Amino acid sequence: MEIVPLHIIHLDQDDPKKCTAKKMQKFGNAILHNKVRKSPKRGFLLNPLSPEILGPDDTSMVNLGASIVALDCSWKQIDESLHHIQKDTKLINKTLPLVLAANEVSWGKVGRLSTVEAFAISLWVLGKEEQARDILKPFRFGEQFIELNKEPLDAYSNAETNKELEMIQWEYFDKPNLSNK
């Protein structure tokens, strides 16, 4: 199995006891970077505010060695943290299809994922289900994450394009009403 390189830009903004990023590093499932400039130059930055979704159209770039990079920061500081990262990297910003969080902090919340959950859904939509399952194994909520999201994950894995993947998520989750903004 070809392993997708997983990198984390870690900003030390969350409770270290609940940090899935550090646990991923401990188990050899991701490389942690405390400095933005040390992160990969080529790949995708998981950005929940991006208008572009990560999916099947991005598989070829990943198969050529592109990394997936997650930003481990506090949800309360996401805007300023992303701004800081975007000005110092050339990574392609991508959001993820919606799933429910299973971690202890945000259980049941749509899209409020821990770092490991974000990586798992990324790998899943890129056809790397085995690696997704492997990185979730060290976490108590890992199996629950897969079980909680079984139906959308199955549907997402069958999408043939990013556009199709984006449409599928609205079969499982409410589409936001953008006319109120």
- pLDDT digits 0-9 by tens, 136-167: 999 999 999 999 999 999 999 999 999 999 99
CA distance 122 to 15: 24
All structural domains of the chain with their residue ranges: 6-173
Supply φ then ψ for residue 93, to 5 degrees: -75, 130
Please say if the pLDDT value at position 84 is more than 90: no
The reported pLDDT for the residue numbered 35 is 78
Q: Considering the chain, what is the average pLDDT of its residues?
A: 88
pTM: 0.90
Which residue do the tokens 């199955």 mark?
Answer: 154
pLDDT for 181: 45
26-70 pLDDT, tens digit each: 999 999 988 777 778 789 999 888 899 999 999 999 999 999 999
pLDDT at 11: 73
- Residue-level pLDDT at 75: 58
Tokens 């991005």: give the residue: 58
State the amino acid at position 101 in one-letter form. Answer: A
pLDDT at 20 over 60: yes
Of 143, 145, 171, nearest to 158 by C-alpha is 171
